[in-house]
Chain A
């Protein structure tokens, strides 16, 4: 099995930690300054790891069908009809979804 060397591993952990916090190592206003304390070789690694990981941004992601939400709600309603209210841990209102309209 392939493994990253120690410096690449550290750089990857830092990159993903920054991303999880909504930051970027190349944004001087938001995350970039976090790199200032790093030794130069680690900064270089981190920027290279970011370029490699950046390839993933090219991965396409189809959007869901426009009726997926509506179908999901309908599935839930069908399930409720199949199983009596006593089977659920709480009682659901039978009033219409006044505050929610699924996107068409």
Chain B
């Protein structure tokens, strides 16, 4: 059973064998948890949403379209659960830039040039732990919808079309939002480096 595809395991579960479900949970425990902990920023919350996600998988397994791929469906559920939680917690923006950006606000804006905004050798001359801390701070301070798409594309390597399916947005919006996410990350990183060099 270990070599079965996700879709085969889900089908086994739909036919009444629990082992399929357990193997899916085990197979995705690291990857899905990593997405949630990086998105939500809190370990305990990430574990709660992880469990809620698989509970939803269980509840919705009967309606899963066997023509679909399981992995993007799983992440769709997880991302929805995570966003629902953040909305219910009514998180406030932590900085003015975050307050100014919201989904759908991809029109207009200022262009940046990555080759100019980030100096050659980014990350060099930084201790590993300091680099980790700074990168984490930069990502966690991004607007939620930009951080989300950055995680899905870079860390989880979903193709643009699947990201569109997961987030329920058109392909053009995937691209523009992703570009905005990288521009935001690069700009914040540059600002952090400049601040650091002034000390």
Known: A2-B180, A63-B30, A72-B25. A52 touches B175 (CB 8 A): no
Known: A19-B157, A69-B26, A76-B54. A5 touches B112 (CB 8 A): yes
Chain B interface helix/strand/loop/mixed: helix
**Is B23 part of the contact surface with A, judged by Cβ < 8 Å?**
yes
**Bound Cα distance from A90 to B115, whole angstroms:** 56
Which residues from A are CB-within-8-Å of B78?
none
Contact of B18 among A13, A48, A61, A92 (CB under 8 A): A92
Contact of A55 among B50, B135, B158 (CB under 8 A): B135
**Is B38 part of the contact surface with A, judged by Cβ < 8 Å?**
yes
**Is A38 part of the contact surface with B, judged by Cβ < 8 Å?**
no
Cβ contact within 8 Å between A53 and B182: yes
**Bound Cα distance from A3 to B107, whole angstroms:** 10
**Is A37 part of the contact surface with B, judged by Cβ < 8 Å?**
no
Which residues from A are CB-within-8-Å of B165?
none
Contact of B136 among A22, A59, A65 (CB under 8 A): A59
Interface residues on B, range: 35 or more
The proximity string for B residues 126-143 relative to A, scoring 1 for CB distances below 8 Å and 0 otherwise, is: 001001100110010000
Contact of A13 among B114, B158, B175 (CB under 8 A): B175
From 164 to 183 in chain B, residues with beta carbon under 8 angstroms from any chain A beta carbon are 175-176, 178-180, 182-183
The proximity string for B residues 23-53 relative to A, scoring 1 for CB distances below 8 Å and 0 otherwise, is: 1011001100110011000010011001100
Residues of B within 8 A of A (CB): 1, 14-19, 21-23, 25-26, 29-30, 33-34, 37-38, 43, 46-47, 50-51, 54-55, 58-59, 61-63, 100-101, 105-106, 108-115, 118, 121-123, 128, 131-132, 135-136, 139, 150, 153-155, 157-160, 175-176, 178-180, 182-187, 189
26 A-B pairs within 8 Å (CB atoms) are namely: A3-B110, A4-B114, A8-B115, A9-B179, A20-B157, A49-B182, A51-B121, A52-B189, A53-B154, A55-B122, A56-B135, A56-B185, A59-B136, A62-B33, A64-B29, A64-B30, A65-B47, A68-B29, A69-B25, A90-B62, A92-B16, A92-B18, A97-B22, A99-B1, A102-B22, A103-B26
